[in-house]
Amino acid sequence: MEPLDQLPPIAPHECEAAAGVARRIVQNVRTAVQVEDRTLEHVIVALLGEGHVLMEDYPGVGKTALARALSRSIDCQFARVQCTADLLPADVVGSNIWNQREGQFEFRPGPIFANVVLVDEINRASPRTQSGMLECMQERSVTVDVHTHELARPFLVLATQNPVEYEGTYPLPEAQVDRFMVRVSLGYPDLNHEVAMLGDHGAGDRVLALEPVVTAAEVLTAQDTATRVQATQPLREYLVRLLAQTRADERVELGASPRAGLMLLRAAKARAMLYGRGHVEPGDVQALARPVLAHRLVLAPEAVGVGPAQVIADAVAAVPAL
**Tens-binned pLDDT, residue by residue, of the chain (322 aa):** 444 445 677 888 889 999 999 999 999 999 888 888 899 999 999 999 999 999 988 777 788 888 889 999 999 999 999 998 899 989 999 888 888 887 888 888 999 999 999 999 898 888 888 888 887 888 888 888 778 889 989 999 999 887 755 656 788 877 778 889 999 988 777 777 777 777 766 666 788 889 999 999 999 999 999 999 999 999 999 999 999 999 999 999 999 999 999 999 999 999 999 999 999 999 999 999 999 999 999 998 887 888 899 999 999 999 998 7
Looking at residue 119, its pLDDT comes to 92
Looking at residue 4, its pLDDT comes to 44
User: 241: helix, coil or strand?
Assistant: helix
Does CATH number 3.40.630.30 belong to domain 229-318?
A: no
Looking at residue 162, its pLDDT comes to 76
Looking at residue 302, its pLDDT comes to 86
Q: Evaluate whether 12-214 and 229-318 have a shared fold.
A: no
Looking at residue 33, its pLDDT comes to 87
Looking at residue 1, its pLDDT comes to 41
Looking at residue 247, its pLDDT comes to 94
The dihedral formed by the CA atoms of 27, 32, 35 and 38, expressed in degrees to the nearest 10: -20
- Which of 76, 153, 84, 90 shows the shortest CA–CA distance to 119? 84
258-274 and 233-248 helices, crossing angle to 10°: 130
Cα–Cα distance for residue pair 294/228, rounded to 1 Å: 26
Cα–Cα distance for residue pair 79/99, rounded to 1 Å: 25
CATH of domain 12-214: 3.40.50.300
DSSP classification of residue 151: P
* Total residue length of the chain: 322
Please count the CA atoms within 13 angstroms of the CA of 250 that sit on its side-chain side: 2
User: 203: helix, coil or strand?
Assistant: helix
Looking at residue 200, its pLDDT comes to 67
Domain residue spans of the chain: 12-214, 229-318
